[in-house]
Chain A
Amino acid sequence: MTAQRISQNDSHGVSSHGVDSHGRADEQAEEQSIAVSLDASPQQVLEDALSSFDADKIAISFSGAEDIVLVDMAVKLGFKPRVFCLDTGRLHAETYQFLERVRKHYDLALEILSPNGDDVAELVAEKGLFSFYEDGHNECCSVRKIAPLRNHLGKLDAWITGQREDQSPTRSDLPQDQIDKAFSSDDHTLMKFNPLARWTSSQVWAYIRQESVPYNPLHDRGFVSIGCEPCTRAIGPGEHERAGRWWWEEATAKECGLHAQNVTPLIPASGG
């Protein structure tokens, strides 16, 4: 069942079934209803994911923020999931305290992943402790988050994230499940599940309140997205949560897709 749903989601919707260009309302309505039904609830996605892989081959990625709902849902579904957290060494004291609270509250063997000490030492020796304010956060995040994440994911067949479509423009078409091309290799396919993809921040917080889920106290001080202490700040009403992270960097074009101009594109339009 899961494999079938995965293929449907990977196509981002339903095929046209040969409807002509003029379209017919009934068929369009039918397609729309099918498309809606393809969006499973977070709990359904979680249950399917955790049931489909050996318990030691799938894990939840927990950032110490509102993605705590994934842990809560998994536990309430009857699972005792593997949960890991990337400890960059630069998290807020409140986040470390929250991680410990979560560990005890859910009786979890929370796996704390640390960056390679030599890589951190090399970065700091070369550029100091705050190089990200001068030349961007990519290098520091790569050393402190992506490298240990990649190392850990190499031992798993699937992982579960709290990523949501509404978190940033680059996540606007985030599927609920997908082959993780970023971390898969020629001889290792990694699945990625995003149970909260369709939920908004409001829905997440409604769940937290309704289910009395423990949460990071930084949220009560205006922090919406929580990461490393130097790169996270509280935001004001109406600001997008992304404004609370790396606010000194310009929203420059990051993508590497090829976009043909004018005429008929030679490259498919899905180039990101």
Chain B
Amino acid sequence: MKITFVKKILANGEPCAKCADVEARLRTGNYLSRIDETQVADERDPESDGMRTAARLGVERAPFFVVENDGGEVVYTVFFKFLREVLEAPVSNSAEASEILRDNPDLDLI
């Protein structure tokens, strides 16, 4: 199994906040060693590794993970799903809810 982590650099050159948060969670959970490759999707450079991977796989959001296994590729755009299913890490309901809200900001007005 090969795991690729794709994180984003914004058009203004700053790192994407969620990507930084995800990376910090991977670090504090001691999961960074399970990541085989980290690619940067630089919005200023369509030819950057991460942008090309996103284009190839039709992914429109970052961060995301690509898991290669037995010749196939599975894309995870939901971090906690990746954490639970691939890294088999414990995930709390509130942590998953937090990611849902972050990815769907219009839900806060529900």
Indicate if the CB atoms of A260 and B93 lie closer than 8 Å. no
Indicate if the CB atoms of B103 and A256 lie closer than 8 Å. yes
Instruction: Give the segment of B25-33, B51-59, B65-73 that binds chain A.
Output: B51-59
Indicate if the CB atoms of B110 and A266 lie closer than 8 Å. no
Task: Enumerate chain A residues within 8 angstroms of B11, measured Cβ to Cβ.
Answer: 259, 261
Grouping DSSP codes into helix (H, G, I), strand (E, B) and loop, the A interface class, with mixed when no group exceeds half, is loop
Q: B59, B60, B63, B108: which contacts A141 (Cβ < 8 A)?
A: B108
| Chain A interface residues (CB < 8 Å from chain B) | 61, 63, 86, 116, 119, 123, 137-139, 141-143, 145-147, 149-151, 161, 163, 167-168, 170-171, 174, 182-183, 225, 227, 242, 245-246, 253-268, 270-272
**Taking the nearest CB of chain B, how far is it from the CB of A58, in angstroms?**
16
Task: Enumerate chain A residues within 8 angstroms of B63, measured Cβ to Cβ.
Answer: 256
**Taking the nearest CB of chain B, how far is it from the CB of A249, in angstroms?**
10
Within 8 A of A (CB), among B81-110: 92-94, 96-98, 100-110
Q: B46, B52, B55, B98: which contacts A142 (Cβ < 8 A)?
A: B98
Indicate if the CB atoms of B60 and A270 lie closer than 8 Å. yes
Task: Count how many chain B residues have C-beta atoms less than 8 Å from C-beta atoms of the other chain.
Answer: 37
Q: A260-B46, A266-B54 are in contact. Are A138 and B110 (CB under 8 A)?
A: no
Indicate if the CB atoms of B60 and A271 lie closer than 8 Å. yes
20 sample A-B contacts, Cβ–Cβ < 8 Å, listed by A number:
A138-B101, A138-B102, A138-B108, A141-B101, A142-B98, A147-B96, A149-B107, A150-B100, A170-B105, A242-B109, A256-B62, A256-B102, A258-B61, A260-B43, A261-B43, A261-B44, A262-B46, A264-B46, A266-B52, A266-B55
| Chain B interface residues (CB < 8 Å from chain A) | 8, 10-11, 16, 18, 41, 43-46, 51-52, 54-55, 58-63, 92-94, 96-98, 100-110
Indicate if the CB atoms of A167 and B109 lie closer than 8 Å. yes
**Taking the nearest CB of chain B, how far is it from the CB of A135, in angstroms?**
12
Task: Enumerate chain B residues within 8 angstroms of A167, measured Cβ to Cβ.
Answer: 106, 109
Indicate if the CB atoms of A225 and B102 lie closer than 8 Å. no
A267, B58: Cα distance in complex, Å? 7
- 11 extra interface residue pairs, beta carbon distance < 8 Å, beyond A145-B107, A261-B45, A262-B44: A116-B94, A123-B94, A142-B97, A147-B93, A147-B94, A147-B97, A149-B110, A183-B100, A225-B109, A256-B62, A265-B46
A-B contact count (CB 8 A): 122
Task: Enumerate chain A residues within 8 angstroms of B46, measured Cβ to Cβ.
Answer: 260-266
A61, B102: Cα distance in complex, Å? 20
Question: Residue of B at shortest CB range from A172?
Answer: B106
**Taking the nearest CB of chain A, how far is it from the CB of B5, in angstroms?**
14
Task: Enumerate chain B residues within 8 angstroms of A86, measured Cβ to Cβ.
Answer: 110
A185, B97: Cα distance in complex, Å? 14
A167, B107: Cα distance in complex, Å? 12
Indicate if the CB atoms of B8 and A258 lie closer than 8 Å. yes
Indicate if the CB atoms of A146 and B43 lie closer than 8 Å. no
Most buried by B among A119, A142, A149: A142
Task: Enumerate chain B residues within 8 angstroms of A147, measured Cβ to Cβ.
Answer: 93-94, 96-97
Indicate if the CB atoms of B62 and A258 lie closer than 8 Å. yes
Question: Residue of A at shortest CB range from B51?
Answer: A266
